[in-house]
Amino acid sequence: MLHEVLHSPEPDGEDALALFGRLAGSWRLSWRGLGPDGDWATAEGELHVGRVLGGRAVQDVWVVPGPGRPGAGVPPRAFHGTTVRFPDPHAPGTWRSTWMDPVNGRVRRFTGRPTGDGGVLLLSDDEEPWLRWRFSDVRPRSFTWSAETSPDRGVTWVHDELMTAERVD
């Protein structure tokens, strides 16, 4: 019953979910992340995206490293979480997004906007460091996701994560 109530094959009305809804499906991820020691680590993972809540939102589930891969479920480099995103009906062109990562005990709220070939999400919580997540080069069978942190409230940014995604369904 939960699956029937939560998942929606179609958007509610016109496709206001096109920005992130076009990612619906399953993806193979190649992740690179900058560690506190300044070294880059790599991992393989998966992403599953679908329309939910009567077609009014998009939910994705990120699993890095993927099941059975070295480091799966071991913080701090692993993350297994979910994001729910929806267009804000009171601010056209704006998305609200909440990320939950039980492996690392994180909950982050973002405000997003479309960009030329994807979207950008900026941390809207008052937490440090600031975060900026970008979806770019979005194509039917691939996209790039990158993360930047700012220790000085947006004055400077450090690129510290990069994922490439390839559609598997």
pLDDT at 123: 85
pLDDT at 3: 61
pLDDT at 96: 95
Instruction: Give the model's confidence band at 127: pLDDT under 50 very low, under 70 low, under 90 confident, else very high.
Output: confident
Instruction: Give the model's confidence band at 125: pLDDT under 50 very low, under 70 low, under 90 confident, else very high.
Output: confident
Q: Bridge partners of 49?
A: 25, 60
Amino acid at 37: D
Number of H helices, E strands in the chain: 2, 10
> Distance between CA 133 and CA 160 in Å, rounded?
10
Q: What is the largest CA-CA distance in the chain?
A: 48
> Distance between CA 52 and CA 21 in Å, rounded?
10
Inform me whether the pLDDT recorded for 15 exceeds 70: no
Write out pLDDT tens, residues 32-91.
Answer: 988 777 888 889 999 999 999 888 899 999 999 888 787 766 666 778 999 999 999 999
pLDDT, average across residues 125-148: 91
H/E segment holding residue 73: none
What the chain holds in terms of domains, given with CATH numbers, is 2-167 (2.40.128.20)
Write out pLDDT tens, residues 112-121.
Answer: 999 888 888 8
Instruction: Give the model's confidence band at 28: pLDDT under 50 very low, under 70 low, under 90 confident, else very high.
Output: very high
Among 12-16, 25-29, 30-34, 131-135, the least confident range: 12-16
pLDDT at 26: 96
Q: How far is CA 99 from the centre of its chain?
A: 8
